[in-house]
Amino acid sequence: NTSTTKLVVGAEYQGGKIFYLLVPGDPGYDINTPHGLIVATSDQSTGIQWHNGLNTLTNATGTALGTGLSNTNAIILSQGNMYTNYAAGIARAYKGGGYNDWYLPSKDELNTLYANREATFKGHTNGGFPATFFWSSTEHTDVNLHVVAWSQSFHNGVQSRSVKGSSSNVRAIRAF
């Protein structure tokens, strides 16, 4: 309910906390209706692989704000509906606040979350995030045709291309 909730970074809203409000130039920006991104208040996994065991090309290549949900859906279409054994599935299965539209953030959405973590979770060291890597939903094919996925360190902010079978944390987000 926007009439009783002040929409600012760090406000509790629709099952999580607002970590970004869209600005002019962002996809989906509307001068008359505020929109933004919400992060779950805790991790959905403290160590899970990106894929479900099948290292296939998913075409989840969106990097920008607003592409995480379509990436997540592409990953699930490729990897299957076993929601508990891989990053996108576990993010999509999350039902925080009774909402069922959570997803794994894109590379840029994850970077925005990292940049705003302390403003979002004031009073918590590192915004309450463990100093470890978190998965994005963005897949990458390198020059040697290795299919990897982007992850981000919440220790120092570095974004890395990681082997999909390695273990990283998951923190779901949703748009409003």
Q: Enter the pTM of the model.
A: 0.93
Contact 45, 93 (CB under 8 A): no
DSSP output for 111-129: HHHHHHHHHHTTTSGGGG-
Q: DSSP letter for 32, please.
A: T
Cα-Cα-Cα-Cα torsion 36, 41, 47, 52, nearest 10 degrees, comes to -50
Q: Report d(CA 69, CA 82) in Å as an integer.
A: 17
Q: Report d(CA 83, CA 18) in Å as an integer.
A: 25
* Distances, alpha carbon 148 to alpha carbons 9, 79, 141, in Å: 31, 14, 6
- Residue 3: predicted pLDDT: 55
Taking the mean position of all CA atoms in its chain, how far away is CA 45?
A: 12
Tens digit of pLDDT per residue, the chain (176 long)? Answer: 445 668 999 999 999 999 999 999 998 999 999 999 999 999 999 999 999 988 888 999 999 999 999 999 999 999 987 778 999 999 999 999 999 999 999 999 999 999 999 999 998 888 889 999 999 999 998 766 678 999 999 999 999 999 999 999 999 999 99
Taking the mean position of all CA atoms in its chain, how far away is CA 171?
A: 6
- Residue 106: predicted pLDDT: 98
Contact 120, 10 (CB under 8 A): yes
Close Cβ partners of 168 (under 8 Å, ≥ 6 residues apart): 47, 48, 50, 87, 132, 133, 134, 135, 151, 162
H or E, element range at 27: none
